[in-house]
Amino acid sequence: MPRVAQTTLTQHILHNQPQRFRGALSTLITQIGVAAKMIAAQVRRAGIIEVWGETGEVNVQGEEVQRLDRIANDTFISVLEQSGCVAAMASEEEDDWLRVPAALAGDYLVVFDPLDGSSNIDVSASIGTIFGVYACPSRPERLEDVLRPGRDMVAAGYVIYGSSTVFVYADGERVDCFTLDPVVGEFFLSRPNLRIPDTLAMVSANELNEPYWPAWTRGLMGELKERNRARRALTGRHMGSLVADFHRNLIKGGVFLYPVDSHNKRGKLRLLYECNPLAFIARAAGGADTWGEGSVLDLAPEHLHQRTGFVVGVAEAVARAEDWYARERRGELAPLAPPAAPRGER
Ligand code: AHM
Ligand code: MG
């Protein structure tokens, strides 16, 4: 197939970025694309070179650090620091936020989960990188300068290391998807102006958590299953890799949910690194998100590694989640008996 007519990530960003963001933001997104290619190269060799398995460290989240987690984190930090575009960063894998040395500092704050879904590394299933970008004209001095609501983001995106490597990028107005041609070593525009379907086709949740779910989540799931009574209108699809579940739902029309439950009393997913960027992308694609009573983008973070309940995807399904949440708040749903032997909060 001739390649000449296809648009590269860099060309697309230069041509389509809103005028106000031309320049450094274009460079930054291009550099994130470079980091993505470097991480993709390591992911592709997992199992061949020594990147499988745990480092023996436990991260700030209390989770075992996989070697690929560490490689992805170090690669992202190094490329962003050298890009000249970034003033500060915060990573899911780092205890504290990172300030870029003055000589290299630029005008953006980048928050990221370097390798989401890392429990899938050893089984060769899809994993990814998630990032959010904030304008940051003055150099951050304190943690408070980094704890910004998701609404302030100017761009967000993710990379999936799956059967192909895709880079999805949203500037708040549109979402575009690029696929890596591994022979050329370049991302090419593959799904321009992605829009999430209006009709719900898929539901993604860890259903084995049902004993821990609040009543509203059980009500919502019951309602969605009821839609299948007459005919199979919906199907369940859940990989346990948020970014991959989100990508499938964005293309096929799905909703992902991971509520606050009796096991994860503040939620499992991280507000800054996972939920805010995906909520930003979902909304730019015509979808929606909620923590229960509103978008996670409106939450004012108090901690770098803050967690939240999260529902994201097709707008109609997110609205049904908010309706069930409101019913529980009004006391209309019977409270659930706690599970017989709670496993305790993670
Ligand atoms: P991670 O960033 O350490 O990989 O954790 C986040 C992941 C999500 O990708 C996924 O949706 C969720 O954790 C799965 O959690 P659980 O195993 O509790 O269902
Ligand atoms: Mg993650």
> pLDDT tens-digit profile of 43-98?
887 666 555 556 666 666 666 556 888 899 999 999 999 999 999 999 999 999 99
Residues of the chain within CATH 3.30.540.10 domain(s) are: 9-191
The answer to whether the Cα torsion of 303, 287, 16, 188 is positive or negative is positive
User: Is the CB of residue 281 less than 8 Å from the CB of residue 250?
Assistant: yes
Diameter of the chain measured on Cα atoms: 64
User: Is the CB of residue 322 less than 8 Å from the CB of residue 288?
Assistant: no
63 lines ligand 1 (CB under 6 A): yes
Identify the three-state secondary structure at position 54: strand
186 lines ligand 1 (CB under 6 A): no
DSSP 8: B
Residue at token pair 């290391």:
161
DSSP 166: E
| pLDDT reported for residue 172 | 84
Single-letter amino acid code for the residue at 278: L
Residues of the chain within CATH 3.40.190.80 domain(s) are: 202-337
Using CA atoms, how far apart are residues 104 and 92, in angstroms rounded to an integer? Answer: 22
For the domain bounded by 202-337, which CATH number is listed? 3.40.190.80
Q: How far is the CA of 106 from the centre of ligand 1 (A)?
A: 32
Atom of ligand 1 nearest to the CA of 113: 2
Q: How far is the CA of 156 from the centre of ligand 2 (A)?
A: 15
From the first residue on, what is the mean pLDDT of each consecutive set of 10 residues in the chain (346 residues)? 74 76 83 96 73 62 72 96 96 96 95 93 91 92 96 97 95 94 95 97 97 97 93 94 98 98 96 98 98 98 97 98 97 72 47
Between strands 54-58 and 64-66, the pairing is antiparallel
206 lines ligand 1 (CB under 6 A): yes
Using CA atoms, how far apart are residues 274 and 257, in angstroms rounded to an integer? Answer: 13
Where does residue 240 fall: left (phi above 0), alpha (psi -120 to 50 degrees), or beta otherwise?
Answer: left
148 lines ligand 1 (CB under 6 A): no
Atom of ligand 1 nearest to the CA of 274: 2
Using CA atoms, how far apart are residues 91 and 89, in angstroms rounded to an integer? Answer: 7
User: Is the CB of residue 230 less than 8 Å from the CB of residue 108?
Assistant: no
| pLDDT reported for residue 46 | 66
Question: Which residues fall within 8 angstroms of residue 221, CB to CB, at 6 or more apart?
Answer: 203, 205, 207, 210, 213
| pLDDT reported for residue 211 | 95
| pLDDT reported for residue 38 | 95
Distances (CA, A) of 168 to 16, 83, 240, 261, 290: 14, 20, 19, 30, 21
Identify the three-state secondary structure at position 322: helix
Using CA atoms, how far apart are residues 9 and 169, in angstroms rounded to an integer? Answer: 10
Answer yes or no: CATH 3.30.540.10 is held by domain 9-191: yes
User: Is the CB of residue 156 less than 8 Å from the CB of residue 129?
Assistant: no
113 lines ligand 1 (CB under 6 A): yes
Q: 175 pairs with which residues across the strands?
A: 170
Among 204, 212, 174, 215, residue whose Cα is nearest residue 191: 174
320 lines ligand 1 (CB under 6 A): no
Q: Which residue, judged by its Cα, is nearest atom 12 of ligand 1? A: 240
User: Is the CB of residue 196 less than 8 Å from the CB of residue 175?
Assistant: no
| pLDDT reported for residue 122 | 81
| pLDDT reported for residue 345 | 45
